[in-house]
Amino acid sequence: NQFELWYQPKYTAGDHSLTGFEALLRWHHPERGMLLPAEFLSALEDTGLIIPVGKWVIQQACLQLHQWKLQGNTEWTLAVNLSPAQFEQHDIIDVVCNALAQYQLSPACLTLELTESTALKNLKRSIEILNAFSALGITVSIDDFGTGYSCLSYLKQLAVDKLKIDQSFIRDMVEDSEDAAIVKAVIQLGHTLDLKVIAEGVEKEDQLALLRTYGVDEIQGYLISRPLTAQDFVACYENQK
């Protein structure tokens, strides 16, 4: 009962309209305070606790979507990260479907994010699982794109809808022409494959300006909003109306 989800909003790059959120896990440690995933994820993975905690995250995310829906925010979507161990679970499709059914949610409101390395670990199984998610109407996004195997041939084999450019490329793209070229190429590649492209880790106005020039679809980062609790975001959102 010490875990909680925080939410970082995602906006369109053009008019800054809200498109959805990414759910981010936090550990409210009784002695050390609020801990970020980097401080405990490896322990969850090493002990196998990532499976029950990951299941809790999916259920909690669907509960939050249900609560937002009751508040009238029916268009909000939520992205959840799947760990490699979760993705390899034989019942991962049932886990997701049961959570959606429990809270009477449309599959379209949920996005599942997985890394390149997770998707490519067992390509045949990945194709089967992602085809199943796609058939259900669940959005799939490749997270941290550009940091994994980057074997581009896999993209046309997987039923994915979005690419998220890793923040390591966004961080120095204004000063580093090579990073800028990579970002531009990923956006063009994504659009060629009819995929939406998200830039994460956007923290500066000049980064946003360059991303707009390149035609990125959505942005996420501290420039727009830090991760917030659900209550804090709703309060801020209502004040901005």
Where do runs of H (alpha helix) occur along the chain? Answer: 41-47, 50-70, 84-88, 92-102, 116-121, 123-136, 167-171, 177-192, 205-214, 230-240
pLDDT at 157: 87
Would you call 42 exposed, middle or buried from its count of C-beta atoms within 10 A (0-12, 13-18, 19+)?
A: exposed
Say what the pTM is: 0.92
- pLDDT at residue 142 greater than cutoff 80: yes
pLDDT in tens, 85-125: 999 999 999 999 999 999 999 999 999 999 988 888 888 99
